[in-house]
Structure 1
Amino acid sequence: MVRTRGLGRALGHVTGRGVGRGDRDDSGDAPQRQRPTASARRQRVPVTTAHDEPVVPAPDVEADIFSDDPMTPADVEDTGANIPADTGVQAAEDEHEGFPGGPSDLSVLTQYADHVACSVWMGEEHPELKLSYHERKVHSLGRPVPAIEGLVFGTGLSPLIACSVDTGDRGLLSSFVEQWYRETSSFHLPVGELTITLDDVSSILHMPVDDAVQMLVDLLMAGHWTAAARAYLLHLLGCTPFANKSATNVHVVYLEALRDLSQTGRYAWGVVALVHMYDQLNDASINSSRQLGGYITLLQCWIYEHFPSVAESTTDQDYDEDSSRACRWIVTKKTVKSIRTMVYRERLDRLRIPDVFWIPYGEHRPVRDFHLISCYFGLLCWGLVAVYYRPERVVRQFGYT
């Protein structure tokens, strides 16, 4: 069961006013409500009927991470059942609708005209995305002082200190953003649809995705050091899972979730991190976007884990297997080659099923077990941001099978 009660109140109810988002305001990262476009009214029957219908949250999931007014199936009107009987001429016309090299049925990918892939297909080369990269700031700040180290460890966020990669691969990430579609919350590749799941977040970052075991922290003994711990954690969160497009600013909304550090470790931070990553991918996949925010480490290490034939990566031979999976990759200016987006795009076009590592965390299960919450499908909401989480669309097997 996802422990989000309290985190929803801490983050969801204080982010609705005076906060910009996306390319319009690079100074803020607090969420605003954005309904997933797959919920728009449909004019034809989707290609895949079962998976394209909006779903409701699983009844056994305690989900205060959902906002007070989440998008529900009541907001969706599926007009497919009302199609007139004499569809002879119309059906013939529909067969030829769509985009060259793109979707022929526009009832699913409803925003393809504004997608970066559309402009690339039309010969308008899209420049590589600028990466809003803050991971080096974690390294420069260093580890917490001994007086607050126990407090930071008790929140469950301490793995973020060591797992950040040093350099982002602009060409690699730009090529994957071209394959991302907000309507399905997945990358559309020659082998099918793949996406970053809660299991990926748990394994790569070691962030809690369900009820975390609360570490015992003696806050009374800590005294005034709690303020220093909150400041350190605010910097850590702003540079890692919740990095925005600003080079210097971190939104103070996270302080609300750090008010009681004895409860901070019980929040499903990994769920919120995934919502933020999806939202940043949604923004970056629009043709007018020139920048990618979010936690670059999560996306880049996910690619390393699943696509060894696409991304050239270097593993650390001294990797401690008890550490998060992100720590096993050496990602520096020396190891990351300056390969252009076009080259990565060609590699993705040649991708075949044997080239994908479908279950990369088998040997890591003794350290980080698979959580059944990763099989949940429906809406994930953080504050006013709502995204679809659709692992049932993804052509991959989970680690417990």
Structure 2
Amino acid sequence: MVRTRGLGRALGVGRGDRDDFDDAPQRRRPTASARRQRVAVTADHIDESVIPAPDVQDDPMEVPAAVEDIPADTSAEAAEDQPQGFPGGPSGPSVLTVYADHVACSVWTGEERLELKLSSHGRKVHSLGRPVPAIEGLIAGTGLSPLIACSIDTGDRGLLSAFVERWHRETSSFHLPVGELTITLDDVSSLLHLPVIGDLHAFEPLHLDDAVQMLVDLLMVSPESARAETVQCRRLYVRLQWVHDIYQCRCQAGHWTAAARAYLLHLLGCTLFANKSATNFHVVYLEALRDLSKTERYAWGVATLVHMYD
């Protein structure tokens, strides 16, 4: 059994991470269901004049039958116990725990939602081009060559937006009118042509000094340049353009192994491990490129699915 833990912890993210919703307005759940409102109205508007008053000479513990047949308090308590749910959504939030912050709730209530921002690194991959002949063998040996041709420059924004709005993080699936649909390892293998069987690299959390030293050792940059880049990108991140420039410099100097690492790091940052910034990515992925002879053993398809779910 391969190890599947470490990537989310190394990046400092996980299923509990809710940074995707930091900029979204907070939603309020409905205070009561329609059924509860109906019960409350019925109970509050009973005409007491139609209820015969008990005879004072009778037993004070005896209650008229007409009064016993009006379970006002019981109905209200039963309505309280029932899950309130969401209009047009789940009746109980036990599974879709963040449904109140989901765009589907805004769509149903008619609230205005922010425009979806779509980013593509296809042009960045095309501008870098195919690897120079001196490192073609190294790149092909890693099994990551199919990623060079998998990026697109543009797409159907409406279609992509519709799928994103149907995605729920709690279940890692699309909730469609025909049922639930999820992305499987077979889909990753068929679309990206990446291995889904093999070893999974055990990523460990990085300290800033460790990240700088890794850039110095594996990309052959100066400590000053590496530290300045990490400081500019807020510690453990580097820019795609910076790695692009490093690749060209290593090719000009004839440092082919470092050039191959820079090329692959840029490729991974544009495809498998892209993030919302659209400009930079985490340094931790460089560790998987330390020994290029072992890179092909990794189950990159599994890492892709784990990164997407996190």
Residues 274 and 93 (structure 1 numbering): CA distance in 2 closer, same or farther, change over 3 Å? same
Change (3 A) 1:95 1:160: same
Q: Distance in 2 between matches of 1:141 and 1:93?
A: 61
Q: How many residues align?
A: 201
Counterparts of 1:90 and 1:97, CA distance in 2 = 13
2:192 counterpart of 1:211 = no
Which of 167, 186, 199 is the equivalent residue of 2:173?
A: 186
- Structure 1 portions without partners, runs of 5+: 16-29, 38-86, 213-222, 280-401
In structure 2, what is the Cα distance between the partners aligned to 1:94 and 1:205?
49
How far has the Cα of 1:157 moved from its partner?
0.6
Residues 91 and 149 from structure 1, CA distance in 2 versus in 1: closer, same or farther, beyond 3 angstroms?
A: farther
Q: Residue by residue, what CA displacement relative to the aligned partner does 1:194-216 show, whole Å, maximum 9, x if unpaired?
A: 0111111110001111128xxxx
Structure 2 equivalent of residue 97 of structure 1: 84
Q: 2:174 is paired with a residue of what secondary structure?
A: strand
Shift in Å, 1:122: 0.8
- Cα offsets for 1:299-330 (capped at 9, x unmatched): xxxxxxxxxxxxxxxxxxxxxxxxxxxxxxxx
Letter in 2 for 1:191: V
TM-score (norm 2): 0.59
Deviations 1:344-393 (A, max 9, x none): xxxxxxxxxxxxxxxxxxxxxxxxxxxxxxxxxxxxxxxxxxxxxxxxxx
Q: Within 1, Cα distance between the matches of 2:137 and 2:306?
A: 28
C-alpha change, 1:264 and 1:120, in structure 2 (3 Å) is same
TM superposition score normalised by structure 1: 0.46
Is the Cα contact below 8 Å between 1:132 and 1:243 reproduced in 2? no
Extract unaligned runs of 5+ from structure 2: 19-73, 200-253
- SS of the equivalent of 1:133 reads coil
1:274 match: 305
Instruction: Look up the SS of the partner of 1:256 in the other structure.
Output: helix
3-state SS of the aligned residue for 1:187?
strand
In the TM superposition, what is the alpha-carbon distance from 1:95 to its structure 2 partner? 4.3
- 2:120–2:152 contact (8 Å) kept in structure 1: no
1:88: Cα distance to partner?
9.2
> What is aligned with 1:357?
none
- Identical-pair percentage: 78
Q: After the TM superposition, which residues 1-400 of structure 1 pair with which residues of structure 2 at under 5 Å, given as runs?
A: 2=2, 4=3, 15=10, 30-35=11-16, 92-95=79-82, 97-211=84-198, 224-279=255-310
Taking the aligned partners of 1:141 and 1:179, their CA distance within structure 2 comes to 34
Q: Tell me, in whole angstroms, the C-alpha distance in 1 between the residues paired with 2:94 and 2:77.
A: 15
Q: Is the 8 A contact 1:151 1:261 kept in 2?
A: yes
Q: CA deviation at 1:108?
A: 1.4
Report if aligned partners of 1:235, 1:250 keep a CA contact under 8 Å in 2: no
> How many Å separate the matches in 1 of 2:76 and 2:294?
62
Check conservation: 2:265, 2:286, Cα contact below 8 A: yes
User: What are the Cα deviations for residues 262-302 of structure 1, in whole angstroms up to 9, with x where unaligned?
Assistant: 111111111111122223xxxxxxxxxxxxxxxxxxxxxxx
Q: 1:248 to 1:183 in 2, by over 3 A?
A: closer
- Any conservation in 1 of the 2:8–2:307 contact (CA below 8 Å)? no
Paired position in structure 2 for 1:80? none
Give CA-to-partner distance per residue, 1:61-96, whole Å, 9 cap, x none.
xxxxxxxxxxxxxxxxxxxxxxxxxx9976654546
